[in-house]
Structure 1
Amino acid sequence: MEKKSFTFDEIKLKLVNYCVYQDRCHAEVEQKMKEFLLIEEAKEEIMLYLLKENYLNEERFTRSYIRGKFYIKHWGRNKIKMNLKQKQISEKLINSCFNEIDEADYEKTLQKIYEDYSSKQKSLKEYQKKAKTIKYLMSRGFEYESILNMLSV
């Protein structure tokens, strides 16, 4: 299959639309650019344009990613952080954006997932049920300390 070739302006527009559709991080845009055989200068020019026109904004991306993964997918902070790091977002930026998650919402969500999952664990002794539920919550990215705090209340 032959690759269709696009003009520089067509590629630029495609990348603008890619960023408009949903917030993207630099790594995703760079990955997308690989589809088009661009020289380094062209890539840089497009990146600068996307940044200058605010189509590409790493902080906005990080904030919306955190909100989405917590409020929609119900991930804990650890899993969110790990996934953002894979997208080459700096730890400093990640930590400064975690205020997108309301602490009371975080505790409520943790409590709800704990209760939902725990109630499905039939025919287990109480301590087994608790251990299995804690393990599950940690796999969802919730911090061990947060889980213990919730249990001690």
Structure 2
Amino acid sequence: MTYEEALHRAAAYCSQAEHCRLDVTGKLMKWGIEPEQQDLILTYLEQENYLNEQRYALAFAHDKFRYNKWGKVRIRMELQRKGIQTGVTEEALRSLDDDSYLAKATELAVAKLNKLHYSDHYERDGKLFRFLAGRGFEPAVVRKAIRQATGGQQACD
């Protein structure tokens, strides 16, 4: 594949959905593009605003929260894994609404609570805590969500 073909394919790829540098680099490597040409293509895509780290981080954070029901810890970890700068990541996480964030954690806790088998409040709360923490919610948010889901009958206070 020539440089021009790769440039057009990469631009088309970035036009379809938001992607980060790591995603596009992976595609370019898969297409057999040399590292020097990869850098030129990535620079062009950034200059022409096909690639935008802030836009990608915002879209990623909102989509993973809304559709995958991930918490901020997990979203932060995934954005770091994709090479997004810490400042950009934190800005994207701040854009998530706190009320809907707690509401989503509570909604997940209620749904999980209906499926749980437990012998006492400690076991129940431990299972809910581990579940929500695994989804990437912070401990303070998890405690509030458990409190709301259980109607205040909480063992982990």
TM-score above 0.5: yes
2:142 to 112, 128, 147: 147
Question: Structure 2: which 5+ residue stretches go unaligned?
Answer: 149-157
Match of 1:24 in 2: 19
Tell me the secondary structure at the aligned position of residue 114 of structure 2: helix
1:28-72 deviation digits (Å, cap 9, x = unpaired): 111111023333332222111101111000110000000000011
Paired-residue identity, % = 25
What CA RMSD, in Å, does the superposition of the two structures yield over aligned residues?
1.5
What is the identity, as a one-letter code, of the residue corresponding to 1:71? R
1:63-122 deviation digits (Å, cap 9, x = unpaired): 000000001111000000111111011221100111331111001001111111012113
Match of 2:116 in 1: 121
CA contact (8 A) 2:109 2:146 kept: no
Question: Structure 1: which 5+ residue stretches go unaligned?
Answer: 1-5
State the alpha-carbon separation in 1 of the partners of residues 116 and 142 from structure 2. 18
State the alpha-carbon separation in 1 of the partners of residues 145 and 34 from structure 2. 53
CA contact (8 A) 1:118 1:130 kept: no
Runs of 4+ in 1 over 3 A off after TM superposition: 149-153
Match of 1:13 in 2: 8
Match of 1:101 in 2: 96
Give TM-score, length-normalised by structure 1.
0.89
What is the identity, as a one-letter code, of the residue corresponding to 1:124? S
More RCO (CA 8 Å, sep 6+): 1
